[in-house]
Amino acid sequence: MSIESKIHELREELRRHNYNYYVLDKPEIDDYTFDQKLKELQRLEEAHPEYYDASSPTLRVGGEITKNFETVRHEYRMYSLDNSYSQEDLEDWEKRIKKLIDGKVEYVCELKYDGASISLTYEEGKLVRAVTRGDGVQGDDVTNNVKTIRSIPLQLKGDYPEKFDIRGEIILPLAGFAAMNAARVEAGEEPYSNPRNTASGSLKLQDSAEVSNRPLDCLLYSIKGENLKFKTQYEGLEKARSWGFKVPEVAQVTASTAETLKFLEYWDEHRHDLPYETDGVVIKVNDLQQQEELGYTAKAPRWAMAYKFKTEQAETLLEKITYQVGRTGAITPVANLTPVQLAGTIVKRASLHNADQIAKLDVREGDRVYVEKGGEIIPKIVGVDFEKRDPQSEPTVYITNCPECDTPLVREEGEAQHYCPNEMGCPPQIIGRIQHFISRKAMDIEGLGGETVALLVNAGLIQNYADLYELKKEQILPLERMAEKSADNLIKGIEASKAVPFERVLFALGIRYVGETVARKLAKEFKTIDALVEAGEERLVGVDEIGGRIAESVVGFFAEALNQELINRLKTYGLQLELDASVLENQTEKLKGLTFVISGVFEKISRSDLKKTIEDNGGKAAGSISSKTNYLVAGDNMGPSKREKAEKLGVTIISEDEFLAMV
């Protein structure tokens, strides 16, 4: 096949898929496959510009417009987004931005909601028009149907602009979708295929009364208009929320791809805890002036990128639901499945997360279920084929007692998971706590892995992490697969761990809610384990970014007699339970209680050293200016928006030399 024929074939195929997806809402292929075909066409067109076609799918946002509703032209075009599926894609995108923008660039990460795109127009605080995406240039007027969605305000409150458009997604929450399907199956009707298509189809129903009976929701994420009174995307989200719109709270400002990846990793794992579907994360340049400088390609903004979670779905039988106990006592329900091929592996088990997730999906033993696996993340149950359900099946009843030690489970207010409170007598918790203690980011004990910990516990040689420091070589030699060299390495690794710094020891203790970052903050603030033990909740909450839940957990941990005994034993073994003297020598409280924002390029000190200097002297280095900011440390090439905001809020602007004089 010639190059010209290949290009023509790809264009025709992509046009057909565009039509099926955007007009009929009946996609024949998944997003990943579509994007790979689109990228192949883009590569061929770039290599062979002689075959340019202005109507190519690479230059378009969507497909044709349906004629069931009045066609309306968007005042502000609704662009599509470029997609990425890897860390390398995001890093390349960030490099392109840094070439075009001088100075610091911040990003906002938002979940990519899997629904039907909508543009809402407001005038004088009233909803006047709702238009579907269509082909991005024009869409269908579905105002009457949208007005039935209760989360969309008909009248705004607060300091809203006189006229503006706000974009978002019409979604069908999972609980509502499951209830709709259950009712349809009971009535002998065919269940809907998925929430996204059902939400999109609902917008095009002729009878708005029927739409009002569907549990549709709307999540908003972007404002378009003239003379808007905010400077960043994140501030726009906060404004929209204050006007009465439903704007998810999960958006986060990040300063680099590395920080963005943490957000992606977290939500790839936790997205199924949400009440609605998401299929990725949208990363946007935060500063609106920088967005304007970056502009658009023919089809997408240069200042935004969609990271799509890789998913593959399969259907199989849920044979049995069992329950696992984690190191903190958290109970995780697990679906045991008839083995099925998924994302290149045979899947036999999948996470069901918690009791709420089971209830939301109405998952039962004996169901045919849909399983997804995103990247290397543990497979998850994401839906049930209600049509194939046994009419005699019974709803799942969540267990009341620990499957390992039979202790009655507890579920704290506001918590999604049930917990086994038998911390010191439940075997998986005992093993899990020690495995956490010896992990790489904690004590990092060379020669000691998770399996060896289980062997030591099951052999009765250890019951807690303090016991590790009393192990003798002759005790561990008889263990399975434990040769003399392995035993020597294990003993040496345990001895070497006594030099691990205080903040990592604190993290290793396994205090609930005390991760690496919180452990560093607590170590820096209290300097010694004794000072931390003596601190009450009020004192702890006074530490920057330490909330009531963390404070309560820390106080509760040290109040336990067994934990007090463990700490005392660790002291006698010589572990580092206070900050190193050399670290303390370089720390003061000269800047205690002061918040600084750093912007621009500096001559005498690097940005990272400047931030460290602030923190070493008791101050806080924040990423953005707010009413709580005391000083803006201004270097060369500082963005004008930061200076304007500092001046507006009355924040003192100081130079590099003026800052250094303070310390």
> Terminal CA-to-CA distance of the chain, rounded, Å?
71
Closest listed residue to residue 14, CA positions, set 50, 69, 53: 53
Rounded-to-integer distance, Cα 613 and Cα 607, Å: 10
Structure tokens at 477: 């030699």
Helix-helix angle 450-458:427-437, to 10 degrees: 140
Strand partners, 232: 287
629 three-state secondary structure: coil
388 is catalytic: no
Reference 145, options 116, 173, 123; nearest CA is 116
Q: What are phi and psi of 254, to 5 degrees?
A: -125, 160
Read off the tokens for 322: 């069992």
Assess contact for 333 and 345: CB atoms under 8 A: no
* Rounded-to-10 torsion of CA 229, 233, 238, 240: 70
What is the C-alpha separation between 517 and 519, in angstroms, rounded? 5
Structural contact between residues 256 and 199, judged by C-beta atoms closer than 8 angstroms:
no
Catalytic residue among 104, 112, 284, 308: 112
Strand ranges (E), 494-619:
595-599
∠ CA 413-516-503, rounded to 5° = 120
Please report how many Cα atoms fall inside a 13 Å half-sphere around the Cα of residue 378, on the Cβ side. 15
Q: Which residue has the tokens 């339970």?
A: 577
**One-letter amino acid identity for 239?**
K
Measure Cα distances from 660 to 108, 217, 613, 617 in Å: 31, 52, 9, 11
How many angstroms separate the CA atoms of 363 and 335, rounded? 9
Catalytic residues: 112
